[in-house]
Chains A and B, each alone.
Chain A
């Protein structure tokens, strides 16, 4: 296990390097460079050329990349082209907000999804099963922004229970309750799509394991329903569930952008999108690297969980 972990951590480097090369190439191959976006539609040629030189965009691509990677090796992610601020601090600050939001959403969707999935599986084709299927599919076919706006209108505008946007009230706020109040709507919005996937998958794999020989044997030996479900079936059904929770964690991390935008949540997703639209290479690099790093770590955790859940799994 220790060797497995060490080896996987060693893979971190190449993965992140791969990500950074692709981000770099994409941003440079995409039409529109930072100078153009900065100057807008009204720029004249001299200002454009001048700014390109100032930003170092006149250098060959590989020189630009090597300069950047050289700085990264020394722990310097550079400064945002637009905001002029150090990228590292900016990204980490925003990442905290994203982590809070996705962490809460992941918790809600995992707990809710597994509970719903088990309930459906143990009463397959019952009214509860059908209802939960319809409700969760409804979640899957509604886009995030739509759900977000509806929740906002209902709970903020009409009922006045919860704040509509932001992370803290700009004045007089700052406490835990203030934070929680601001967190609820975006977290529920973000969790809605994942809860569906987790619930449906839990139901399916639970049904499969419940039908397997050893579970039937356990049943035949006279074990009650509940121990069968909890002790035998669930543990074996967990592998795909854990996989999908891991995948969802990744999607939530990178995909919180829409939710962050709707609720003006100061996360890293909106920062990266702003950066992409502005072709702000250092900013996007920094943001994507942090997202990628956390994502790879989540996957590592998932793989480690596999081994724990099913000792027969061997990793080379």
Chain B
């Protein structure tokens, strides 16, 4: 049996060799972050997912930013701004003495470049990038004018009161024109901006490394570098955190939260995101064109049970599209408590005493979708209890969004992360009748003329108190009409090792690692 022994030895050898390999402790000054997927690229104007932006936004920054733990706007690369009385001209005063990572100065020309590259097909940098938000964010921009080196003016086609929020979006980040023209197509992989960290290295499939920018205008970060590692499998990310090889992870699965709460090795952070998860209803299709049917669905779904048992507290029950507690949110919205009897009654009134059959489309996964299939299974069971027989159809994300353009949807699970608390960023695209799919994302095919008028008016006034009053009125109409089943607002969960201090989650789903101090 000599052979057998040899074979055994050959199989054991690598194990013996590797077991001796020590697990290195983290070097001081290096933060290692576990991401749920690999970033697509690092130029926020050229991506649409949270994950890429979480890295890219460390390198480039916009003129306006959001305050800590809130989406209230604050000056950033722009020190101040003025708005013309007709709401068509926004003039920004830029911060002086700011430098890009490549040493070139940040100025009005750079602002003009950063925005125009996205919207003007003739712009020299238009061909070397692909800009998904060109129309969605900047379609309303007629021109960008550099008044002098530190003053820049945006001229709009139509007034839009939420324009300052648009200028705080990741896609409105400032890039170095010199660097971009030099790097060409490769710029997106290694952008140059004014942010707290600069690009250092990217080994695909393994890690992206950023280094601190010592000349950062707000003062250099307290850590030397951040390493981002894409680890798709939840258990792997968690294991690495618990064994001390990762410092910070996002996307902690709901069922692990309780487990981590009692763990002495980690800190758990929670933050409600500017996000809403909903079951869309096709309002223009029978029987859903009847308001009573839509309200019945709202009463039938046990949102509390979904949040408590499926999401395990990683979501807050939602009553409407706007995040509660923010300036535009109506505090006294009609609630649809879990009430199967009421649901049955409404269905009977609408002429469906025995219920009906329908289909529900659900994506397997997707940015901001939480646990779509599990949530759908609970909703399906809830709806069956009131006589609505739902056939689930689960789809891979790419196929799903294509299918949503066909307008054949009856019930569909989706979410919306506006990135801001401004109601215009949620209510207008999702419910204004000009945004009916395929023109925009109003896939519920919702239309209410009074509601439309309120929203349009709110875009034209710049006074926030007046806008708030209009949006509150509109939310009451909306919730009464029940175009969706409002389900929850996601509570983001991050876990860090004990040596990470000073880190806070942000409602825009950004991951601001520049505030971290390592003990």
A103 beta carbon closer than 8 Å to chain B: no
* A148, B231: Cα distance in complex, Å: 14
Residues of B within 8 A of A173 (CB): 24
Residues of A within 8 A of B366 (CB): 41
B105 beta carbon closer than 8 Å to chain A: no
Interface contact B232-A261, CB-CB below 8 Å: yes
Residues of A within 8 A of B37 (CB): 274
B258 beta carbon closer than 8 Å to chain A: no
In the complex with contacts A40-B48, A263-B233, A264-B230, A79-B441 CB distance below 8 A: no
Interface contact A36-B188, CB-CB below 8 Å: no
Cross-interface CB contact of A266 among B26, B32, B49, B205, cutoff 8 Å: B205
The number of chain B residues with a CB under 8 A from chain A is: 75
In the complex with contacts A36-B398, A45-B438, A45-B439, A84-B185 CB distance below 8 A: yes
* A161, B14: Cα distance in complex, Å: 13
Interface contact B230-A85, CB-CB below 8 Å: no
Shortest C-beta distance, A170 to chain B (Å), equals: 5
Residue in B closest to A175 when the chains form the complex, CB atoms: B21
B440 beta carbon closer than 8 Å to chain A: yes
Residues of B within 8 A of A266 (CB): 203-206
Residues of A within 8 A of B402 (CB): 31-33, 36
Residues of B within 8 A of A165 (CB): 231, 233, 236-237, 239-240
* A168, B24: Cα distance in complex, Å: 11
Interface contact A108-B21, CB-CB below 8 Å: no
A46 beta carbon closer than 8 Å to chain B: yes
Q: Main SS of chain A's interface residues?
A: helix
Residues of A within 8 A of B397 (CB): 32, 37, 277
A140 beta carbon closer than 8 Å to chain B: no
Residue in B closest to A44 when the chains form the complex, CB atoms: B440
In the complex with contacts A40-B367, A119-B4, A171-B24, A164-B239 CB distance below 8 A: yes
* A31, B235: Cα distance in complex, Å: 31
- Interface residues of A toward B: which range? 35 or more
Cross-interface CB contact of B206 among A43, A79, A170, cutoff 8 Å: A170
A30 beta carbon closer than 8 Å to chain B: yes
Interface contact A277-B396, CB-CB below 8 Å: yes
In the complex with contacts A33-B402, A83-B40, A152-B235, A170-B135 CB distance below 8 A: no
Within 8 A of A (CB), among B391-446: 396-405, 414, 416, 429, 435, 438-441
A181 beta carbon closer than 8 Å to chain B: yes
Interface contact A171-B26, CB-CB below 8 Å: yes
Cross-interface CB contact of B7 among A43, A79, A111, cutoff 8 Å: A111
Given A32-B399, A83-B189, 9 other A-B residues pairs in contact with their CB atoms under 8 A: A32-B397, A38-B130, A48-B438, A81-B130, A83-B204, A165-B236, A264-B236, A277-B396, A278-B398
> Which 3 interchain pairs have the tightest Cβ spacing?
A266-B205, A32-B398, A32-B402
